[in-house]
Amino acid sequence: MKPRRLFVSLMALMLLIPAATAYGADQEVHVNVLPADALAVSVDGWADMGVEVGTTAHWDFWINILNTKTTGWEVNVSGDALQSGHWTDCSPGGCSGWVDDGVLAFPTDVLQITGGDLDWWDGADATGNTIRPFTGPVGTTILQATSYAHGNFGLDNPQSYLEVTPPADDLGTVDVDESGAGLEFHTVLTYTIAVWTP
């Protein structure tokens, strides 16, 4: 084949190959700016446990921490005894009001609260145990952490939990109502976070 014919054939072949197509890729960018020198705690707003007399009910829940301080921190729980009563202001979406009926109250120690954990920082922390969970009744400390537990995070390894064991002796004196329903008890727990120095 002559060089000129080869050149013409190659040019014709190149015209048949389509031009390279440019492809794009999207990237979403989200930035969560944390306040400086802040300390805050939040928890699931609701725990609903059913329990049979003589048994213990268990409820896992989330505790979320915001810590941008340079110190350690601790979480305490406060609240009142579990009071018997009934719900009011009920609709298909649920009930919004609680009324104590004064029939019976369980002491705060029937409700045990356990703090959660997260081991992200344990390897870097000289203590080897950045967050320490504790178990106790209302009125106790359930978490202590060194300054390594820094940022915005939830405790899920394991999660925090509540356990309630109603005293059978007290319940034995209360009659079941005509509908067959048992008694309902209610309290509000308050979780507070404060600076803690190991």
Cα distances (Å, whole numbers) of residue 162 to 48, 104, 157, 180, 195: 10, 21, 15, 26, 24
Q: Which residue is it, tokens 């944390």? A: 34
For residues 29-56, average pLDDT = 93
Band of residue 180 on the pLDDT scale cut at 50, 70, 90: very low
Q: For residues 169 and 174, give the distance between their C-alpha atoms in angstroms, rounded to a whole number.
A: 10
User: Quick one: pLDDT at residue 138?
Assistant: 95
User: Quick one: pLDDT at residue 53?
Assistant: 80
Q: For residues 90 and 84, give the distance between their C-alpha atoms in angstroms, rounded to a whole number.
A: 18
Cβ 47 vs Cβ 58: under 8 Å: no
Residues constituting the chain? 198
Joined together, the tokens standing for residue 12 give 């014709």
In this model, does residue 173 exceed pLDDT 70?
no
Q: Mind listing the domains of the chain with CATH numbers? A: 35-196 (2.60.40)
Q: For residues 101 and 33, give the distance between their C-alpha atoms in angstroms, rounded to a whole number.
A: 46
pTM (2 d.p.) = 0.81
